[in-house]
């Protein structure tokens, strides 16, 4: 399941992405961090000033990424479009 939202912290808004795996095979934590995992954990804070909470839990991977508003661009949208949620 993937959800996203734009959170108002004053003005402008931050983007929050949540990824949660459900119903898959058990996840085993690797002994050594993979390129993809390292990229997610290191690139988001360094390049975008965001934060990452990534957990390789046995019941499935969970990842929350927060990106600051200044990374998102300068397009202003009405409040009805600013707070949104999508899932698949």
The more confident residue out of 21 and 8 is 21
pLDDT at 85: 38
Q: Residue holding tokens 């459900």?
A: 22
For 15-70, what is each residue's pLDDT tens digit?
889 999 988 888 888 888 888 888 889 999 998 889 999 998 888 899 999 988 77
Bridge-partner residues for 56, per DSSP? 61
Of 69, 66, 51, 71, the residue nearest 8 (C-alpha) = 69
Confidence (pLDDT) at 83:
38
The pLDDT assigned to 64 comes to 95
DSSP 29-57: --SS--HHHHHHHHHIIIIIS-EEEEEEE
Structure confidence at residue 57 (pLDDT): 86
Of 60, 77, 64, nearest in space to 8 by CA: 77
- Give the three-class secondary structure for 88: coil
């Amino acid at each position: 399941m993937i959800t996203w939202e734009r959170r108002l912290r004053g003005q402008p808004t931050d983007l929050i992405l949540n990824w949660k795996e459900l119903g898959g095979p058990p996840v085993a934590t690797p002994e050594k961090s993979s390129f993809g995992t390292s990229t997610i954990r290191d690139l988001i804070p360094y390049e975008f000033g965001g934060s990452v909470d990534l957990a390789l839990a046995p019941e499935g991977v969970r990842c929350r990424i927060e990106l600051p508003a200044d990374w998102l661009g300068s397009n202003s949208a009405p409040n009805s479009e600013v707070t949104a949620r999508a899932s698949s």
